């Protein structure tokens, strides 16, 4: 099985350098990863340099300033970045608040969308879906559902209705994002099961959230616990969730 971590942050002035990520990947048996630019940093050069230093092992999602009219998106795309990080409620400054979404669609980029239920269910994201029906959008962090949801999970069920849009996929994080730490997690709410039932394994991808995950269950457990939990699935289904979906969406 090729394992791909679809949500990693690297940096020289915040978080950790790529060498630290590589250590954890090797220790945990992770083959490839996607750099997700951290908030507030629109200088994407370090991610590009890290990709060049390790050909074929990484892809990346840029961040641009809210004032960008698409010019910076094109510049970074020309340098090899295949994705952009746009919050679900993101609006550009200027006459066209959707210009960054439209530019991403034009260039065939992947959008990694940090979100929460309110933003996803809002009018702006609805406008994005109508304006860019073919744009590949990955909902981050299991829609930011967090640890506050309780059965019967009515808000989360509304989020899962987005599975009707074939251009949307969703990231399954380490379970420490929606379970109380420390380990062992007990109980584990059925959020992942619900997600798989709605989206199917071919539209779900694992992402560790390194290095913030180190303050929860740790990198290795962010992979091991979901793999143990989903061991009841077929080998093919597991391969999609932990690698094949990401390989396809992120254009490795």
For the chain, domains (ranges, CATH) are 4-249 (3.20.20.140)
Amino acid 228: pLDDT? 98
Please state, in angstroms and as integers, the Cα–Cα distance from residue 15 to each residue in 5, 154, 209, following that order.
17, 35, 11
| pLDDT above 90 for 149 | no
Please state, in angstroms and as integers, the Cα–Cα distance from residue 212 to each residue in 4, 17, 167, 226, 244, following that order.
18, 13, 28, 17, 24
Percent of the chain clearing pLDDT 90 (strictly above): 96
Q: Count other Cβ atoms within 10 Å, centred on residue 222.
A: 26
What mean pLDDT do residues 198-217 have?
97
Amino acid 91: pLDDT? 96
Residue corresponding to tokens 């394994």 = 201
| pLDDT above 90 for 147 | no
The β-bridge relationship of strands 4-8 and 32-36 is parallel
Amino acid 140: pLDDT? 98
25's tokens = 């990947």
234's tokens = 């077929």
Q: How far apart are CA 178 and CA 153, in angstroms?
A: 13
Asked if 217 and 174 count as a contact pair (C-beta separation under 8 A), the reply is yes
Predicted confidence band at 173 (pLDDT cuts at 50, 70, 90)? very high
Residue pLDDT, tens place only, 38-88? 999 999 999 999 999 999 999 999 999 999 999 999 999 999 999 999 999
| pLDDT above 90 for 36 | yes
Q: Could you check whether the bond before residue 182 is cis, i.e. omega within 30 degrees of 0?
A: yes
Give the DSSP H/E element, type plus range, for residue 38. Answer: none
Amino acid 244: pLDDT? 98
Give the DSSP H/E element, type plus range, for residue 136. Answer: strand 136-139
**CA 110 centroid distance within chain:** 10
């Amino acid at each position: 099985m090729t394992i791909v971590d679809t949500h990693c942050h690297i940096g020289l002035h915040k978080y950790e350098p790529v060498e630290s990520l590589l250590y954890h990947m090797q220790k945990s048996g992770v083959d490839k990863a996607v750099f997700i630019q951290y908030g507030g940093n629109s200088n994407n050069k370090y991610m590009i340099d890290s990709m060049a230093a390790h050909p074929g092992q990484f892809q990346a999602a840029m961040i641009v300033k809210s004032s960008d009219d698409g010019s910076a998106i094109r510049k970074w795309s020309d340098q090899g970045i295949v994705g952009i990080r746009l919050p679900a409620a993101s609006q550009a400054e200027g006459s066209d608040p959707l210009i960054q979404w439209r530019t991403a669609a034009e260039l065939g980029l992947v959008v990694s969308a940090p979100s929460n239920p309110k933003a996803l269910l809002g009018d702006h994201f609805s406008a994005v879906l109508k304006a860019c029906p073919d744009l590949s959008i990955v909902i981050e962090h299991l829609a930011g559902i967090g640890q506050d949801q309780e059965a019967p999970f009515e808000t989360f069920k509304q989020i899962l209705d987005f599975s009707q849009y074939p251009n949307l996929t969703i990231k399954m994080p380490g379970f420490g994002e929606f379970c109380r730490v420390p380990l062992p997690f007990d109980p584990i709410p059925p959020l992942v099961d619900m997600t798989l039932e709605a989206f199917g394994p071919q539209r779900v991808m694992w992402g560790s959230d390194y290095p913030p995950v180190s303050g929860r269950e740790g990198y290795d457990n962010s992979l091991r616990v979901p793999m143990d939990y989903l061991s009841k699935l077929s080998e093919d289904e597991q391969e999609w969730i932990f690698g094949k979906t990401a390989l396809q969406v992120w254009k490795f």
